[in-house]
Structure 1
Amino acid sequence: MAQCEQFTTAVDAVISRMRALDATLPERDGVAVFNRVYLTVTEEVDRHIDGARFPDARAAITLDVRFAERYLAAVAAEDGRRPPACWRPLFQMRRHPGVRPLQFALAGINAHIGHDLALAVVDACRSLGCEPGELEDEFDRVGDLLVSLEERVREDLMPGPDLLQIADPLTHLLGSWSLERARDATWAAARALWALRRLPDVAEEFTERLDAAVGFAGRMLLTPLAD
């Protein structure tokens, strides 16, 4: 029980950091838009953990915390070090008046799922001393939560009837990206990175290519649609 409480505290700690970040950012800021979405996801995962809805709570908590730490490190890097390529479009466009809140939210989801989650699976496997296949149930359950929340995000942030002039191109743009496809690609990337762990040069090149590709998709999602 003491071990479970220790891990739960780690989840509470990342939730606390996201809440603190939310309190410091302007509401319309692109990072703030994504942060609110991700905070909701993390709180939902935490409730599932508390409700014993994960077969292996320790594995779920470890994956959740390693996942969140990747995002929080990227935000912290913006103040000094160069953040990963997947996050740069959101950081660069976060105050652009022609980018809609839904675009900010999905660009953040794209960066976090497409790049960070694959690395978080590897991080968690190293921490737990297990293979990626042993985390597949936790990966799938977290992914299912993300899919349901993505649907809610699209409903909540889609422009209303008074903004139909931008809703049409927005619908077309966002229809080119799928969380389901991104999640499938991420699981394949995580397994590949784990298989390459004894080939550090190849693993580093693979990670860099993955980072760049996800960043390219994020830049597309953030195409300004109005001035």
Structure 2
Amino acid sequence: MARNLADCCSDVATIADVVKVLGAIRDASAEDIMRPEVDGISCFSRLYTIITQNVLDTVEGRKPKREFKDPDFLTLLDLEFARRYIAAIRAYEAGRGDTPKSWDVLFERRRKAGIGHVNFAAAGVNAHVNFDLAFALLETWKTFPPTPDRRSDYDQVNEIFAEEMDQLREDFDAFLAEVAPDGSAVDRFGNAASDLLVRVTRALAWEAAEEVWEHHDEKQADGGPAYRKAFDRMERRLDRTAWILGWGVLTAPDLP
């Protein structure tokens, strides 16, 4: 197996740090294998690195057609989001038994024969968006409470996924990208379906976080008992849901 991935999981203070750590996890998790073998952690980390680099380019103004209204909010959200993945890797490598079920389903099958690149990548996206994202939002809102402008910036990240979608589906050997010519109606359908799924799941994460945030009490450091109760209830529900979805994604024969 690959070397201990916890060695790659340094603390992150900037989006550039996130890109560096993700790249290190991607490379270390696959350093002892060659195609056609594949590592699930490496697959997801590769996708995650691409998207995060695009976010970094936007925040730093290297994407002239796109800008965020509140880049500080999106920067902190990116950091809190990445910290949850890094924490899951550390828990898995430490063998403490407290890895979220939504991540464990991927980590424990990371070298299972017969699972495709796209399945591994999709399982990682499922755990990170359907489980981690709502909690990253809640942590970020403690500094930058939700506003319409911040929701607009949040939704702009969907455009980053859309911008990368066609190449990602080709790179990860998605079924429709393999069987249909690039740019064909079938290929465009695959892009559109994947894009819609990203938009819907990210919208659901925001809405789930809002349901908990309604109970937030700024006078109490931990948000108050009602907040804690709602938080814990959502954590159990989202982790179980993402675990079931992740299992389904990893056992599916093909993904579009």
- Scaled to the shorter chain, the TM-score interval is 0.7 to 0.9
Are the aligned partners of 1:132 and 1:191 in contact in 2 as well (CA < 8 Å)? no
Q: Indicate the percent of aligned positions where both proteins have the same amino acid.
A: 27
Are the aligned partners of 2:69 and 2:150 in contact in 1 as well (CA < 8 Å)? no
Which of 160, 170, 173 does residue 145 from structure 1 map onto? 160
Q: Does residue 150 of structure 2 align to residue 127 of structure 1?
A: no
Structure 2 CA distance for aligned equivalents of residues 25 and 133 of structure 1: 39
State the partner residue of 1:23.
27
Which of 105, 112, 126 does residue 89 from structure 1 map onto? 105
Change (3 A) 1:220 1:196: farther
State the partner residue of 1:114.
130
Are the aligned partners of 1:30 and 1:93 in contact in 2 as well (CA < 8 Å)? yes
Describe the superposition over 1:156-187 as per-residue Cα deviations: whole angstroms up to 9, x where unpaired. 222545xxxxxxxxx9xx98x92232122112
State the partner residue of 1:3.
none
Are the aligned partners of 1:132 and 1:194 in contact in 2 as well (CA < 8 Å)? no
Deviation at 1:196, TM superposition (A): 3.4
Note the residue ranges of structure 2 that are not aligned, 5 or more in a row.
1-11, 180-189, 217-223
Higher relative contact order (CA 8 A, sep 6+): 1
Which of 151, 160, 183 does residue 136 from structure 1 map onto? 151
Structure 2 CA distance for aligned equivalents of residues 58 and 88 of structure 1: 31
Are the aligned partners of 1:147 and 1:180 in contact in 2 as well (CA < 8 Å)? no
TM-score (norm. length: structure 1) = 0.82
Describe the superposition over 1:58-99 as per-residue Cα deviations: whole angstroms up to 9, x where unpaired. 111111111111111111110123211211111111111111
Which of 41, 44, 47 does residue 51 from structure 2 map onto? 41
Name the SS for the 1:99 alignment partner: coil
Amino acid of the structure 2 residue aligned with 1:10? T
TM-score (norm. length: structure 2) = 0.73
Are the aligned partners of 2:39 and 2:111 in contact in 1 as well (CA < 8 Å)? yes
Q: Does residue 241 of structure 2 align to residue 213 of structure 1?
A: yes
Structure 1 CA distance for aligned equivalents of residues 233 and 69 of structure 2: 34
Amino acid of the structure 2 residue aligned with 1:37? L
